Structure 1
Amino acid sequence: MPEPTLIGSVQRALRLLEAVAASEEAVTAKHLARIVGLPLPTAYHLLRTLVFEGYLSKTGDGYLLGPAASQRQRSSLQQMLPRVRPVLRSLRDELGGATYLSIYDHGEIRLVDIADGPSAPAVDLWVGVHESGHATAFGKAILAGLTQDQRADYIDRHDLFDLTPNTITNRGALERSLKTTPTVWSDSEEYLLGTSCLATTISAGETVGAIAVSLPSHRPVTHAQAVILQRATRRLSRIMNASIITI
């Protein structure tokens, strides 16, 4: 069978797109040209085309994924679940608690998947996830990853319900806490008495999400738990980036 005819410029553009998707920050044209192995003028030409078509966005710091690369996010999320679930299950087994993947989707926090089990039961979500972002670790991890305007819009549209005596119900206090950007976000019995939660923010192109684990509140939080959670976050970021740029 004869080998197919391949268009080299399309292949090079895809390599640039993949390189941008693999980065959590904006990437300069010079850096992209170097890691993809292209002359800088060629890289600039391809990047301009990708920006024009909406697959990349140009900022003062470099290039990010554009809206056209993210427009199929919902179907891509369903397609990526077979790759996400092993990460959630592995994290559940390592930390001994149910694990959760959530994303910010069209102005709301949405729970995508849960990995639980007999020895790691999921939290009874007695208040909807979309209404309790202020009281959950994964909600705060997502809110902290949004732009200031997006965060203000979410808080404007949602009451800060008093779910337990520990819930943050003051808008100013919540906004101040979201600016602290810790390595790992937590809630200590803020959503449900007897349960604590740890979470980290996931950034994949223009998508903001979070991975979390729920644990009995009497269990101490350790540095080892944070390291394991961050490792899972990096794996999920790669999976989500790869799914988002499926075109």
Structure 2
Amino acid sequence: MADQAGPEPVAAVRRALRLLEAVGAHRSGATVQQLAREAGLPPVTVAELLPGLARDGFVTDLGDGAYVLVDTGTGSGAARDGRELHERVRPVLTALRNDLSAAVYLTLYEEGEIRVMEIVDSARTPRVDLWVGFEDAGHATALGKSVLRELDGEARAEYLSRHTLTGLTPRTITRREELLRQLDTSSAAPLVMDREEYARGTTCIAVPVYSGDQVGSLGISFRSDRMYRSDRVREGLLASAIRVSRRLSLPG
């Protein structure tokens, strides 16, 4: 089921990524007005976003009203290297695990499959037993459904044509029509939940993340008998999703 959080946090991620792309096109720096035109954003929005990107270490204020991307010292393909990806996002995932006391997962949609890229857990916050691979369980997890909801109709239909909606627990949705209805209900809400659809006794909550044009998901899992303040989970996941998306999308 989807949490009613509204579209703004997801839109904020997309605005930040468009701005980073515009900044990256100017090796000598670009002004707020230039970046606003190229990113298709209002100048006031760009002016509000840039200080946060600077604090997070993604852009540098040259002091004359111009901004450039921070030099990471890596090659253009490094961000796609597995080790580089881990180095970029693991601190954010670890902080989220510690803040919410829950195992944290990152997925990306690659070559038509939902792939788990990173899991950060601990003895106190164990991961769910991945007894069925995500390639066969996207319909049964919040992480998978978060990705499926972001795909366009054609890509979603293509994915579902290749994957059987297997019943993993009594709560798993196994009818395509019901799954599509759930994905399309409150589609503006950024949070998705599965309660014991993948594994009995486990609840998962996820939000979308982006690596350029590539969609993925960020989520947590915890015992279903644990109680969480929904606003704390929402705020923690959405703030972390923005940071993860920036780190995945920042040019190397």
For normalisation by structure 2, the TM-score amounts to: 0.69
The correspondence for 1:179, drawn from 184, 192, 211, is: 184
* Bigger Rg, which one: 1
Of residues 124, 127, 138, the one that matches 2:143 is 138
Tell me how far apart the structure 2 counterparts of residues 39 and 158 of structure 1 sit (CA, whole Å).
42
Give the match for residue 37 of structure 1: 34
CA-based RMSD = 2.8
Distance in 1 between the 2:83 and 2:123 partners? 25
Asked whether the 8 Å contact 2:121–2:127 carries over to 1, the reply is yes
CA drift of 1:90 comes to 0.7
Question: Does residue 1:104 correspond to 2:109, yes or no?
Answer: yes
Secondary structure of 1:154's aligned partner: helix
Tell me whether 1:233 sits opposite 2:241 in the alignment: yes
Matching residue of 2:220:
213
- Secondary structure of the residue aligned to 2:210 is strand
- Is the contact made by 1:132 and 1:139 (CA closer than 8 Å) also made in structure 2? yes
Fraction of identical pairs, as percent: 38
TM-score by length of 1: 0.70
Matched, 1:166 2:183: no
Q: Deviations over 1:34-79 (max 9, x none)?
A: 7363797xx6xxxxxxxxxxxxxxxxxxxxxxxxxxx958734542
- 2:82 & 2:130 partners in 1: Cα distance? 22
Give 1:220's aligned amino acid.
Answer: M
How far apart, CA to CA, are the structure 1 residues paired with 2:173 and 2:198? 10
Partner of 1:194: 201
Name the structure 1 match of 2:123: 118
Q: Alpha-carbon deviations, 1:150-185, whole Å to 9, x = none?
A: 111111100000000100100011111111222211
Give, in whole Å, the separation in 2 of the partners of 1:77 and 1:139. Answer: 21
Paired residue total: 192
Contact 1:21/1:204 (<8 A) preserved: no
Unpaired runs of 5+ residues, structure 1, are 1-18, 28-32, 44-70
Look up the SS of the partner of 1:103 in the other structure. Answer: strand
Q: Which amino acid aligns with 1:217?
A: S
Uncovered stretches (5+) of structure 2, i.e. residues with no partner: 1-13, 23-29, 39-75
Q: 2:232 matched to which residue of 1?
A: 224
The answer as to whether partners of 1:77 and 1:240 remain within 8 angstroms in 2 is: no
Q: CA deviation at 1:127?
A: 0.3
How big is each residue's C-alpha offset from its partner over 1:102-156, in whole Å with a ceiling of 9 and x where there is no partner? 0000000000010000100011000001110000000000111111111111111
What amino acid is the match of 1:179? Answer: D
Relative to structure 1, is the Cα distance of residues 111 and 39 closer, same or farther in structure 2, using a 3 angstrom cutoff?
Answer: closer
Quote the Cα distance in structure 2 between the aligned partners of 1:82 and 1:196.
27
Residues 73/209 of structure 1: CA separation in 2 closer, same or farther (3 Å cut): farther
